[in-house]
Amino acid sequence: MLTSSDPFMPACGDRSRGQFCDVIPATAGIQYSTASPGLPDRQLSRAMTRLFDSVRTKVALAVALACSAFVLQPAAAQAEQDEYPHCISHLWATGSHFGWAEAIARNDAPSEDARMLEYMHAAGMHVEQANALCAQRPAPWPAWPNWREIQSQLMEMADKFHDGAMNREQLAIALGAIYQSLATELAYRILGARVERDATCVELYMRLGQAVGFAQTTTQIFGRLTPDAAVRLRQAISLIYRMREMPQPCRDFMGLIPTIGEALSSPNDPSIVGRVHDIWHAGEVAAAPRTE
């Protein structure tokens, strides 16, 4: 079982920090068809559509403001972002918590369900903190201005899962969809006088956290490096190399590559759980605020 010192992780029974270990009040009431148990009806589709439409609207607004208000060269944009030392750690943590929660949902680990709901709660809190502690401009900033809607949707999903109205597969799909939307919202950068939708360092930080987090939890559940976990670790390698190709410098995660390679070469090694945990921890250190 994963342990965390994350201040956003609610402890079971600690209602002052959230109720994800008990019944979480629904805020919009997703309903499922009684004729086809487990299949979402139109109300669920409308709720999910509203969330993703909101994400798209916020992205469009951020790009429009960036185009009309001011244009920064890549070096200037990087210098501005360096003024926000806690930003990268919250992007990494957001991705990690989504990866942990999705891994538990996909791998049928009921004994970890309470922790999965804690991860969902913490993911929403890191989304809020990224909005507050990352830069406010230019695009793709501010990060996730619709953070309240995201938190509400995660609470709603947790409540429905707790009550049996949403099954594991549906929860995993919904978590993956929200994560993809959040990452895509960060996929804008300014090049000279143009705002383009393209990979950004900040998007890659979140995606890297999700990939390594998913692999870490899946490996813990099974006690070995499963094919799904191996796929995510290979994705992590690709993301790290992609960072090196960016037109402006990203944070350096190259130190993860040798240990990922060792893990991929020994999927059934008795120490594999610890090795994959160490990979995640190395990423956490790389994403941490710089002290110099």
Residue 2: inside a domain, yes or no?
no
pTM of the model: 0.75
pLDDT in tens, the chain (292 residues): 444 456 565 544 343 333 333 322 333 333 333 333 333 444 445 555 554 454 444 444 444 433 333 333 344 344 444 578 899 999 999 999 999 999 999 998 889 999 999 999 999 999 999 999 999 887 778 899 999 999 999 999 999 999 999 999 999 999 999 999 999 999 876 667 777 788 889 999 999 999 999 999 999 999 999 999 999 999 999 999 999 999 888 999 999 999 999 999 999 999 999 999 999 999 999 999 986 5
Residue 4: inside a domain, yes or no?
no
Per-position b or e across 199-230, b if 16+ CB within 10 A of its CB: bbbbbbbbbbbbbbbbbbbbbbbeebbbeebb
284: nearest Cα among 8, 96, 85 = 96
Residue 3: inside a domain, yes or no?
no
Cβ neighbours for 15, distance < 8 A, ≥ 6 positions apart = 22
Decide: 180 and 149 in contact? Cβ < 8 Å: no
Q: How many domains does the chain have?
A: 1
Residue 30: inside a domain, yes or no?
no
Residue 53: inside a domain, yes or no?
yes
DSSP 8-class letter at 266: -
Residue 7: inside a domain, yes or no?
no
Distance of CA 80 to the CA centre of its chain: 23
Residue 274: inside a domain, yes or no?
yes
- Domain with 75, as residue range(s), is 39-287
Residue 232: inside a domain, yes or no?
yes
